[in-house]
Amino acid sequence: MTILEAQGLAARNAARKLAVTREGLKNKALLAIADALLARREEWLSANAADLEEAKRNGMRPALLDRLALDEKRISGIAEGVRQVHSLPDPVGQVVKTILRPNGLKLEQRRVPLGVIGIIYEARPNVTVDAAALCLKSGNACILRGGKEAFHSNKAVITILRDALESVGLPRDCAALVEDTSRETASEMMDLTEYLDVLIPRGGAGLIRSVARNAHVPVIRTGEGVCHIYVHAQADLPMAARILYNAKCSRPSVCNAAECVLVDRAVAKDFLPMVWELLQKKNVTLHGDPECRDILGDVVIPATGEDWDTEYGDYQLAVKVVSGLGEAMDFIAAHGTGHSEAIVTENYTAQRQFCDGVDAAAVYVNASTRFTDGFEFGLGAEIGISTQKLHARGPMGLEELTSTKYVIYGSGQIRE
């Protein structure tokens, strides 16, 4: 039995206990975790300092260093996040449906934990706590495999978490860290069908695709987004410009940021110069089709076929002029990733056709795609944004970390 299999078995046993643990005790554990994160923050900070030092030595880029770094304020924020999870309603045991059958059988479809959740993520130490808290509240054990760059930070905080679990009488193995951060353990997790009920990769597109491609454990794909803003001929153009500017520029690195704008030919001449004025403030690079270049000139780089399928994650935007709703929807069907798509229009029928016909986790009318997020949707938390259609689609909160079971109450019924 490998180390990971032993962790899997221990997690499986912990999950059986956790599945029948009442909300009260899970909440007590969450408060204990939040308290311990503050009380033992020096341990976490000094481990993080070791990671940062190593990362600097290895020449990590400043943006990534920033994601890796912890400080007092961030730790307070993370602890506060755990308290928020504590105050969310426990989905486990919720009755989704009740069916009374003519033969007297009473069926109850209840939410139950998924079991053991594996999470593979990159170098953000806060994910370790966020993910463990969400899994705990939803009654799931978790096996966490963070990036090697955050190894010391993760090892320090998992000890704090497990001590807190134990302090309230829950098994330490409700949360475990994979300490060997080599590629081999990632592969082994993808094959750990006996012990993992689901695997959630969190990170860059490369990581997610590789896990989805290679895992035998069921995977939930998250966070790949080539999102479009479609400016319809009957759009309120200043509103469209504000929405596009927000969707592109408020945080370009995230998956719900817009990567491409489609503009109806009828309004392209008015709209493009208007939005260009805003986009210039952030030095956005435009990759446009010939019509866009006719309107805005040489500031626009000619778009190649590749641009239409690129998640820039940066201050870059693809621009295409279209003939109308039909072409826009065909284009989105061909190039979208099913994450978030928006139409800006004052036309009732156009928005209705767009909402019905566009196949994506989130379809917007007259709002920025940046709202696709568990907190913004009012779920109170988020483990990721599913871009697949099975099980969960869009922002995943606690409910999406559950399965269901039918409990059937009889009085001796047999089937004819």
Q: Which is nearer to its own copies, 42 or 346 (CB)?
A: 346
Residue 222 DSSP symbol: B
State the nearest-atom distance from the C-beta of 149 to its own copies, in Å. 29
* Strand, coil or helix: 304: coil
- Smallest Cα–Cα separation from 148: which of 115, 120, 189, 108? 120
Tokens found for residue 320: 């295409």
* Strand, coil or helix: 81: helix
State the nearest-atom distance from the C-beta of 211 to its own copies, in Å. 12
Q: Which is nearer to its own copies, 56 or 409 (CB)?
A: 409
Q: Which is nearer to its own copies, 51 or 197 (CB)?
A: 197
State the nearest-atom distance from the C-beta of 58 to its own copies, in Å. 34
**Distances in whole angstroms, Cα of residue 401 to Cα of each of 138, 172, 264:** 6, 20, 40
Which residues pair with residue 258 across a beta bridge? 227
The tally of CA atoms less than 13 A away on the side-chain side of residue 397 is 18
Which residues pair with residue 322 across a beta bridge? 264
Q: Which is nearer to its own copies, 282 or 389 (CB)?
A: 389
- Smallest Cα–Cα separation from 127: which of 99, 150, 110, 101? 150
State the nearest-atom distance from the C-beta of 327 to its own copies, in Å. 14
Q: Is 147 left (phi over 0), alpha (psi -120 to 50) or beta?
A: beta
Q: Which is nearer to its own copies, 36 or 112 (CB)?
A: 112
Residue 257 DSSP symbol: S
Q: Which is nearer to its own copies, 154 or 256 (CB)?
A: 256
State the nearest-atom distance from the C-beta of 379 to its own copies, in Å. 9
CB atoms within 10 A of CB 107: 14
Q: Which is nearer to its own copies, 82 or 379 (CB)?
A: 379
- Smallest Cα–Cα separation from 196: which of 270, 126, 119, 271? 119
Convert 82-99 to b/e letters by CB count within 10 Å (16 or more is b). beebbebebbbeeeeeee
State the nearest-atom distance from the C-beta of 246 to its own copies, in Å. 4
State the nearest-atom distance from the C-beta of 6 to its own copies, in Å. 17
State the nearest-atom distance from the C-beta of 251 to its own copies, in Å. 8
Please report, as ranges, the residues that interact with its own copies according to CB under 8 A: 16, 19-20, 99, 101, 105, 107, 109, 112, 114-115, 197-198, 213, 216, 218, 220, 236, 239, 242-243, 245-247, 250, 333, 353, 355-357, 359-368, 370-372, 376-378, 388-391, 393-394, 403-416
Q: Which is nearer to its own copies, 6 or 99 (CB)?
A: 99
Strands 394-396 and 384-386: antiparallel
Tokens found for residue 63: 């943006």
